[in-house]
Amino acid sequence: MTVRKSASSAKATPAKKPAGKKAGKAPGRTARKPAAPQLPPPPPEITEIFARFHKVDPEPQGELEYVNAYTLLVAVVLSAQATDVGVNRATRGLFAVADTPQKMLALGEDVVRDHIKTIGLFRGKARNVIALSQLLIDRHGGEVPADRAALEALPGVGRKTANVVLNIFFGQPTIAVDTHLFRVSNRIPLAPGRTPLEVEQGLLRVIPEQYLLHAHHWLILHGRYVCKARKPECWRCLIADLCRYEPKSTPG
């Protein structure tokens, strides 16, 4: 900050600086060192983390409701910036009348939009649902492809959406990095990264193969219900002793 002198004080004799003190340094302040980044747990501890998740929930399930690969794909597209609960509420009626690309096209964009109007960004999502339905018919005979590149070529489908479909419906050991998983992976930390792709690739390197299929579900559910954004509930976390996050939170 620059302090401007007043006219009356311009010729005043400056006060002497206290001996032993450097100019420009505020007394009593000590520069804080940035916290050192936490290193991921060693491989045996990472194995133990997932062994505990497996013991508690051997077959974790996603929370989106669907009846086939197509409705799963649509549900995941609709879930962007929306809750699973809100998506399920909107898609129950939609999927009851349109569970194939052909039926969705027959409904038309206006009707689809009306079904999903309680979901955020519903107008653009309705356009994407109609467009991806048409492309599934034109390119894949109305079937959802079990191929990442083909899925990502569909409107509204990014890497995370493709990974969810490949994992849940086709049983491929993919990692779908949402906000919960991104937070948990950096907080423990399992595979710290600045982007979802960095976290995904890091997790694929460190998660033991026998736990890879269900790993992203365990981490997402853990982040959603235990390792929450504002205040992780460390006092009831089954991996608190293996987690590097500090300070551990307490109830209340």
Catalytic annotation present for 178: yes
The one catalytic residue in 5, 25, 57, 178 is 178
CA distance 5 to 30: 29
> Burial, 242: exposed, middle or buried (Cβ in 10 Å; 0-12, 13-18, 19+)?
middle
Q: How many CB atoms lie within 10 A of CB 139?
A: 13
Catalytic annotation present for 160: yes
Closest CA to 227 of 170, 183, 177, 174: 183
How many residues in the chain?
Answer: 252
Cis status of the peptide bond prior to 208, with omega within 30 of 0: no
The one catalytic residue in 160, 228, 231, 241 is 160
Residue burial 162-198, b: 16+ Cβ < 10 Å; e: rest: bbbbbbbbeeebbbbbbebbbbbbbbbbbbbbeebeb
**Which tokens hold the place of 174?**
């993919």
Alpha helix segments (H runs only) across the chain: 43-56, 69-78, 84-97, 101-107, 109-115, 122-140, 148-152, 159-168, 179-187, 196-206, 212-225
Catalytically annotated residues: 160, 178
